[in-house]
Structure formats: structure tokens, C-alpha cells
Amino acid sequence: MTLFKIKSIENFKLKKNLCLIDGICTEDSIYFTTDTKVIIKLFCNKIDYLTTDKSYSKITYDSDEKCFYATALNYKNSIFKLDLNFNELECIDICNSAEDLKVIKSLSYDKCNKCLVLSNYDYMFKLYINNMTLIKLCRNEKFNPYSIYSIENFILSLSRNKNYFTLNITERHRSLPICKLPKNFRYKAIICAYNKKTEICINILAIDCKNIEHLITLSVKLKDKSDCDDNCNTDNSKYDCLKNRNAINNAIESIALIETALSHILNAEGEKLQKGISCANYVYELIELNNSIEKTITKVTNLEIHLSDKLSSLKELVNNQCFDECNNKCDDEHHCEAHNDNEV
């Protein structure tokens, strides 16, 4: 599925302007954040106001643990885990996880991978809360998302150009064509989405020219079309084929580097363990050794997760049903003859 277009739009007008920032659906309600220490709960068209300790801005819902994760105004480096009454359960300092992730523009819970998907100005990331493993997904080169939502293998995101808003869909680390949204609204945040196999229904918080807030439902039709039609039947076919081949080569090289790193770490740790046990005379020395081993285990776990992602990406590239056809076509038509040493 490589192309998509807006199939239909439904509109639900909120009763008054509530100064909403973001929102998320749970099993029975919709919760909105505001620019004050108030959470607005929408249930069966009835509005309730919940007072909180902080002004929460971006928010997502973990349907497995039945809790919220949110960022807060004036707390750029933290993610807060909240219960269903918005009591703070945990504060996660992202500065300890990665230098690249200093500001969170948006976040979403990925139910399939049991992690958070985060976005800043440059990249999208996966954050595994249990072991605080952060994995860089993709660079936001073509668009600068300010609201993201993870659903199965897709990451939906909103971005703004000078003249229009766009809906972007990233599928397994690759971006699909950008879809322009109707100009009669300003789109603030993706509230929820669900997949109907042939289409994705997306609820978006939007505001009209009179500053009246709406919940817009978009039905995005996914179109089945061969990747070869997109990648090979164009004037830039040779570049697409070369990109495919380079992507595989880069993935293999990256996997080899990770495996080498794992081997060096494990060998060095094995030697350190043997030496430490034979030389340790006091309990505190064994405790220090144990702490060092735990740090190494965390480092190895991070590399293994990264390696797994690289292998999945490589598998997807190699198993692409159009990959061989595309490359064969390029070879047959001499599209990929970038440099030939036999040519004069």
C-alpha cells in the first residue's frame, strides 16, 4: 500500500472554545490538554474539568497499563507517567537517555512494540520505558511533524507548510506520499486513529477561522499499487534502483558493525569478570563489579534491540515483492549503468 487519499470528512463542533492543545482517546472518553492546569474530559458529549498539578501539553494513552504519558509546559526534558486521575506516577528524564532528544514535540504509545514513539525537530524515536532504550527511527527531512500518532505499522503525523497543512504516513521506516489537508481548518493534533484494512479513520483536533474548535474525522483510503509502478516507471528509475541497492549494502554494513561491537563488549566483559572474581577480597568490590556488569547488560540489550530493528529493515528490503523485478528491469534497460569501466 503506497498511495493514499482522503475519502471523506466528518465534523463535530465543540460547544465553545476551550483552548485545547492536544488530546487522546481511551476506551470510553476523550481527554484534552489545555494551556492551564486543567484536563478536559469529553464523555458522551458531556464535558468535565479535571484539575492537575502541572500544565500538561502533549499526551498519549497506554492501553496496556491503563495510564497516560504526557509532557508538560516548562518541563522540556521530562515525560510524566500519570494514572487515570492524572496523579503523577513517575517522571522520566529523557536527557539521561539521549543527547539527540532534548525537546519533545509530540509523543504516541506504540501498542504493537510496547514503547513510546517520540518526535523532535529532526528525528522520530522509539523509547522503551522498561530499560530506557532509545532507538532513532527516521529523520524528519521532508516534513517537520508537530503531532504524531502510532497505529500498527504506521506512524501518522501532522506538519505545516507555508500555505497548507499535510498528513504524512510513515510505514515501516519509509515515508509515503504526503497528503494535503483542506485549507478551511488549522489542524492542531491527531487525537486517535484506527485501521480498517483498506482505510484509516483519523480524528483530528482542528480550529476554524472563527477560532471555534472541531473534531474532524478523516477517512484515508489506502490504495494497493505495485511499488514497481512508482519506483521503476519514472525518469528517475536508475536512482531509485541504486537507492534500493545502497540501502541493502548500508544495512548489511551497519549489522556487521553492531555484531563486531557486541563481540568486543562480551569478550572484554568476560575477561573483566574472571579477573574481578579472582581479585575481589571485599564485598564492596563485588558490588562494584556487579554494577559494572549491569551497565554492560543494558548496553548489550540496547545494541541487540538496534540489531533486531536493522535485521527487520533488511528483511523488508530483500523480501519486497517488487525489488527483484525493479532491479531486473533497470539492468535490462541499462538504467543503472552509472559507471562502466569498459566504456570508452
Over residues 213-226, the pLDDT tens digits come to 888 888 877 665 44
Which run of H or E residues covers position 157? strand 154-160
Where residue 181 falls among pLDDT bands split at 50, 70, 90? Answer: confident
pLDDT at 339: 38
29-50 per-position pLDDT tens digit = 899 999 889 898 888 778 889 9
Computed over its alpha carbons, how large is the radius of gyration of the chain?
24
Where residue 242 falls among pLDDT bands split at 50, 70, 90? Answer: low
338 versus 97: the higher-pLDDT residue is 97
Query: Does the structure show a pLDDT above 60 at 302?
Result: yes
Query: Does the structure show a pLDDT above 60 at 341?
Result: no
Give me the DSSP letters along 230-261: HHTSSTTHHHHHHHHHHHHHHHHHHHHHHHHH
Where residue 6 falls among pLDDT bands split at 50, 70, 90? Answer: low
Provide the 3-class DSSP secondary structure of residue 205: strand
Domain boundaries, the chain: 3-223, 231-332
| pLDDT over 90, % of the chain | 15
pLDDT at 139: 66
- CATH topology for 3-223 is Neuraminidase (2.120.10)
Residue 117 class from Cβ within 10 Å (0-12 exposed, 13-18 middle, 19+ buried)? buried
Number of H helices, E strands in the chain: 4, 21
